Amino acid sequence: MRPSSSLNLSFRSTINRMNNANDTMEKIVSLAKRRGFIYQGSDVYGGLAGTWDYGPLGVALKRNIMNLWWQHFVDSRDDMYGVDAAILMNQKVWQASGHVDTFVDPLCEDTVNHRRFRTDHILKDNGVNPDGMTMEQMDAAVVENDIKSPDGNPLSKSRTFNMMFMTHVGATNDESSVSYLRPETAQGIFTNFKNVVDSFYPDLPFGIAQQGKAFRNEIAPRDFIFRSREFEQMEIEYFVHPEAWEQAFDELLESTHEFLESLGLSPDHIHELDVPAEDRAHYSKKTIDIEYDYPIGREELMGIAYRTDFDLGNIQRVSKKSMEYQVKGSNERFVPHVIEPSFGVERALMAVLSESYREDEQNGEKRVYLTLPKHLAPIKFAVSPLLKNKPELVEKARQVYSALKKKYGAVMWDDNGNIGKRYRRQDEIGTPKCIVIDFQTLEDGTVTVRDRDTTEQQRVNIDEISL
C-alpha cells in the first residue's frame, strides 16, 4: 500500500515541486490560491492529493467556461440534446465499455520506500519518450537507462493499475453491489441514446452532450489541476451514419477550434496531434488530440475520437436491447457510429489562466494582471467611491453599483485602500473595468472608467457604462 502520508500533498509542496519545473506556473498557482480561485482540497487537514476546491472567483470562471461551451455546442445548434446522467451506474456499464479490463496505467514502485509512480511519467521525466511502448518495453527502458526513482532507489517491474474508484451501492458489500465513480461522462450519454431517440426521434446526425464530474484514481496527480483525481468533463457523443463519420469529425474539429478561440486562446499556442494507433484508447479508430502550450510544456487539452459503433454495439450485446437507428421513411437500420469531442474543464481553465497571465510595470511598480476575455471574467466591473468617508460619494456609488449589478450580476463593491491599490487588486483577478465615482459625478453624472489592459481612464456618462 502507498503510505497514507504521500496522499497528503499540501498546496505548498505542489508549489515547491512546480517551482523547479516552471516559474510562471508557480505564480499562477499562488495567485489562484491568494485571490480565491482555486484551493487545495481538504487543505485544513493537510490536503488530499489530486483534489482541488474552487473559491468564489474560480467557480465563476469555471461556470463561465462551461456555459460558453454549452452555448457553443448545444444551444446555438439544432442537432444537439443535453443530458445529465447519474454518476453512479450499473457495474455492467463499465464491464461492457471495457473500462474494468483496460482502463489501466503502468505502475512501478520504489523498492525501498514503496512510493508508487506511473512508469511512463518516470521515463518522460528522465528524457525517454514512452509513446507507443508496451509495459514490458517501458520496464526494459528503465533498466537500459539505469533509471531510479525520484528518491534515488531502484524501481520494481511495472504492473497494471485500474484507475476507477470502486465503491459499493446499498448495505451489502459483495460482488453484486459493486459500482464505480464514473471515469468519463461518455457512458451516461451512450446509456441514454435509446431514451433520447424514443423521446425525440431526431434525424441523424445528432449529438448528445453532457457536462459533469469524472473520477480517476491517477497514480501521480500532478501539475496543479492538470491531472486531478476528481475533475469535470464536457463531452459530446455525435451519432452518425457509418459512412458519414469523416465529415462529422472534420466539422466538430473546426467547431472545437472556434470554441478554443472564444476562450481567448491564441491559435499559436494550439496544436493538433494525430494520435498514432498504438497510443489511442481501446475504442478509437482515429483520435486528434488538441494540445496547448501550457507553462509546464505542450500537453493535451482535449481530444476528438472516432469511437465507431464500439459503445452502442457493446451495450446492445450485453443488454440484449437493440441500439439500431431506423432511418425515417426508409427500411434502413443500423447501429450509428460516433464522433466524440471530449473536453476537460480544468485543462481549459488552466489554459485560460496561462494565456491571460501578464506582468508589466506601471509608474515604476510591477503589476500582475489577467487579460481574461470579458465574457469569462469572474467580475465584470468593480465600483468604488473615490473617498469612502464622503457619504454623498458613497451613496452615489451605491446607486451605480446596484444598477450595474442588476444588469451584469458579477459586479464587485470595492472601497478598500487607495484607488491605485484597488486597481491592482482588480487587475490581478482580471476585472475588465473599474468605475470610480468622484465629486464631478455629483455635478455632471459622469464617472471614471478605467480599462484593465490599457490602464487608460475615460469620463463616461453613468447611462453609457458598458462592458
Residue 430 gets which letter from DSSP? T
Contacts of 274 (CB under 8 A, 6+ apart): 286, 287, 288
CB of 119 to ligand GAP, least distance (A): 17
Sketch the per residue contact string, 131 through 170, with ligand GAP: x for CB under 6 A, - otherwise.
----------------------------------------
Binding of residue 450 to ligand GAP (CB under 6 A): no
Question: 346 or 427, CB closer to ligand GAP?
Answer: 346
CB of 226 to ligand GAP, least distance (A): 6
Count of residues engaged in binding ligand GAP, rule: CB under 6 A: 19
Query: Looking at 254-262, 343-351, 381-389, 406-414, which segment touches ligand GAP (CB under 6 A)?
Result: 343-351
Contacts of 392 (CB under 8 A, 6+ apart): 442
From the list 232, 233, 339, the residue with the least C-alpha distance to 288 is 339
Question: 26 or 346, CB closer to ligand GAP?
Answer: 346
What distance in Å separates the CA atoms of residue 378 and residue 60, rounded to the nearest whole number? 5
Question: 27 or 280, CB closer to ligand GAP?
Answer: 280
Binds ligand GAP by CB under 6 A, chosen from 26, 346, 355, 438: 346
Residue 18, CA distances (Å) to 224, 272, 367, 368 in order:
9, 26, 22, 20
Question: 96 or 400, CB closer to ligand GAP?
Answer: 96
Question: 223 or 427, CB closer to ligand GAP?
Answer: 223
Question: 182 or 380, CB closer to ligand GAP?
Answer: 182
CB of 313 to ligand GAP, least distance (A): 16
CB of 356 to ligand GAP, least distance (A): 19
Binding of residue 256 to ligand GAP (CB under 6 A): no
Question: 235 or 414, CB closer to ligand GAP?
Answer: 235
How many other C-beta atoms lie within 10 A of the C-beta of residue 4?
7
Query: Looking at 80-88, 108-116, 119-127, 301-309, which segment touches ligand GAP (CB under 6 A)?
Result: 301-309
Question: 156 or 256, CB closer to ligand GAP?
Answer: 256
What distance in Å separates the CA atoms of residue 354 and residue 23, rounded to the nearest whole number? 12
Question: 103 or 381, CB closer to ligand GAP?
Answer: 103
Question: 108 or 220, CB closer to ligand GAP?
Answer: 220
From the list 216, 218, 128, 134, the residue with the least C-alpha distance to 180 is 216
Binding of residue 303 to ligand GAP (CB under 6 A): yes
CB of 33 to ligand GAP, least distance (A): 18
CB of 75 to ligand GAP, least distance (A): 22
When CB distances to ligand GAP are compared, the closest residue is 344
DSSP E strands: which ranges in 38-162?
38-40, 52-54, 80-82, 104-109, 116-118, 159-162
Helices (H) and strands (E) in the chain, counts: 15, 23
Q: How far is Cα of residue 81 from the mean position of the Cα atoms in its chain? A: 21
What the block records as the C-alpha cell of 172 is 451489502
Q: How far is Cα of residue 297 from the mean position of the Cα atoms in its chain? A: 17
What the block records as the C-alpha cell of 98 is 471495457
What distance in Å separates the CA atoms of residue 124 and residue 143, rounded to the nearest whole number? 14
CB of 97 to ligand GAP, least distance (A): 10
- Residues 193-252 close enough to bind ligand GAP by CB under 6 A: 216, 218, 227-228, 231, 233, 235
Binds ligand GAP by CB under 6 A, chosen from 29, 100, 123, 186: 186
From the list 414, 432, 435, 426, the residue with the least C-alpha distance to 376 is 432
Query: Looking at 12-20, 317-325, 341-349, 377-385, which segment touches ligand GAP (CB under 6 A)?
Result: 341-349
Q: In b/e form, how buried is each residue of 189-202, taking b as 16+ CB within 10 angstroms?
A: bbbbbbebbeeeeb
**Backbone φ/ψ region at 160: left (φ over 0), alpha (ψ -120 to 50), beta:** beta
Q: Decide: 450 and 436 in contact? Cβ < 8 Å.
A: yes
Point out which residues bind ligand GAP (CB under 6 A). Answer: 184, 186, 216, 218, 227-228, 231, 233, 235, 300-303, 340, 342-344, 346-347
